[in-house]
Chain A
């Protein structure tokens, strides 16, 4: 039995998902590649968004991948940490904005 759920070496095997469904796997990787191409947003901006989202979804593979990608692109650690704070702010904001629902419910139920 595996002792951990995550193994860093598994990131290198990501491409193998096509082994069990080539068509969908290939379609996904083609789409993935296109998404990260230079477009209205620069590849650098996309890399920072990916890093922030990686933290939101707490994907260790993605965090490793996009920290490395950012280093390659010359993204500084200050920029990376600011991006993580953006993710954290949205995440905590999402928690807190539900506080309004709580307040509404509380008020409704209270005399």
Chain B
């Protein structure tokens, strides 16, 4: 298990330039594999353009109580980047004044932002249709001050989306750290107790599965079926939907791919599984990602690669729905992760 972020280790891969260099060179430069731009050109989908902006995804900070092996954010306890109240206020203004109907809080562990609860309370007043918090589950048990999170979420009708890489201990702990599985199970039971994830409950609890290794996820429905049976039988846990998310080759997962000599084969699998239908609905076409310091990105992955949206007003304080809707989306080879097979997004498959 990792103890420190790549950032704290001063790893070369903590630098976005180095990651982009790796993704652009080698097998993509020598023509062994087509670049993502060439691939979408071949199916008439270049440049990639947005549709209506529906989702605002806020990364409220990179601090996390876990250091997961696959984390594309390179989050961990040693990360100090936290969204300020001022930036949050700008986000509230955008929600008030635009057609955004879904708010998606992510991190790190969003709950560790000291202004998290204030922001949830304020944003709830604005009548967001779908208010998502991406919770890593173990945060609920990490400290007494977080034990009431399930009740707090329920009070504000938060849609909880939680990562649980597998329904068995070994694979979960290997990816997310020792003891994470048991704590995640306990946290899911606490969420169930307040009504989350129960059949017919309005308190939505969805799980996220991502492969614990250099392979692509299989059919989302089949996985959901397996998760539902196993979690119910073994732990009496209920949840609504399972989202199967492909690991994108950036940050820690890229580091893992290179160190385990899986990078080329993994990229080959992604390119081989390219699905033009998935391109139509990739999440960057209806989402804007906001970083802790207010910069705007096409998605959370581009945020981690430092690729700000390609417009001059690229900060939340200057959010312009019309200009943003007319931009070209920035792409690189990591984008193959969202177009492989049935596609992948923060809301699961897209094709």
Contact = CB atoms under 8 A, between A and B. Distances in A.
Interface of A is mostly: helix
Interface in A64-79: 68, 71-74, 76
A65 B217 CA distance: 15
B282 to A, nearest CB: 21
A76 B215 contact: no
A3 B215 CA distance: 29
Contact of A74 (B216, B218, B268, B272): B218
B12 to A, nearest CB: 28
A5 to B, nearest CB: 20
A111 to B, nearest CB: 61
Given A72-B218, A73-B218, A12 B166 contact: no
B211 interface: yes
Interface string B200-222: 00000000000101011110001
Contacts of B226: 74
A76 B272 CA distance: 25
A71 B222 contact: no
A34 to B, nearest CB: 17
B136 to A, nearest CB: 21
A51 B222 CA distance: 20
Contacts, number: 20
Interface string B211-251: 10101111000110010000000000000000000000000
A71 B223 contact: no
B168 A76 contact: yes
A71 B211 contact: yes
B215 A72 contact: yes
A72 B268 contact: no
Contacts of B168: 76
Nearest to B218: A72
Nearest to A77: B170
Interface in B246-304: 268, 272
Interface in A46-81: 68, 71-74, 76
A66 B218 CA distance: 13
Contacts of B215: 68, 71-72
A73 B222 contact: yes
Nearest to B167: A74
B216 A72 contact: yes
Nearest to A68: B215
19 contacts: A12-B268, A12-B272, A44-B222, A68-B215, A71-B211, A71-B213, A71-B215, A72-B211, A72-B215, A72-B216, A72-B217, A72-B218, A73-B218, A73-B222, A74-B166, A74-B218, A74-B223, A74-B226, A76-B168
Interface of B: 166, 168, 211, 213, 215-218, 222-223, 226, 268, 272
Interface of A: 12, 43-44, 68, 71-74, 76
